[in-house]
Amino acid sequence: MNILKNLEKEQIEKLTEGKNLPDFKAGDTLRVHTKVKEGDRERIQIYEGVCIARKNDGLNSSFTVRKISFGEGVERVFPLYSPNVAKIEVARIGKVRRAKLYFLRALRGKSARIADDLSASSKAASATGSAEDK
């Protein structure tokens, strides 16, 4: 089993080379930049929504992002180490007490909002601010 773990670790390092994957969890609002191929052209499409689930399974890790588009809920599952995922940005850090936020599927409007985690965002801001000062 150790050989398999080592091979998987090498593949993850190879796939994340040049990428900066941020730390995020369920409840965070993400901007996922995906590569879309249309004919012979390739462009970047941004998908922004709330991360409602994260599956940590080594090379098979994935996360689910939900957004409301024209009044209809749309969910998309992204493989974390896919070459089609160009970049992941954390727009807001949410404060939730669950690992899977599937209950948001039944909620509409203001009841589906997620509170900001002010302590985490201030820590992140202070960490980047202290790094810039040095």
pLDDT tens per residue, range 25-82: 888 999 999 999 999 999 999 999 999 999 988 888 999 999 988 988 899 999 998 8
Residue 20 pLDDT exceeds 90: no
Q: How many other C-beta atoms are found inside a 10 Å radius of the C-beta of residue 96?
A: 18
When pLDDT is averaged across residues 94-123 and rounded to a whole number, the result is 82
pLDDT score at 67: 92
Q: Which amino acid is at 23?
A: D
> Which residue has tokens 């998987």?
8
pLDDT at 98: 87
Confidence of residue 83 (pLDDT cuts 50, 70, 90): confident
Residue 44 vs residues 5, 36, 89, 125: alpha-carbon distances, Å: 32, 6, 14, 28
In this prediction, residue 125 carries a pLDDT of 65
**Considering the domain 2-124 in this protein, what is its CATH number?**
2.30.30.790
**pLDDT > 60? residue 131:** no
As a whole number of angstroms, the distance between CA 48 and CA 80 comes to 15
Higher pLDDT, 133 or 17: 17
Query: What is the rounded average pLDDT of the residues 112-126?
Result: 73
pTM for the whole structure: 0.79
Round to whole Å and give the CA distance between 107 and 62: 24
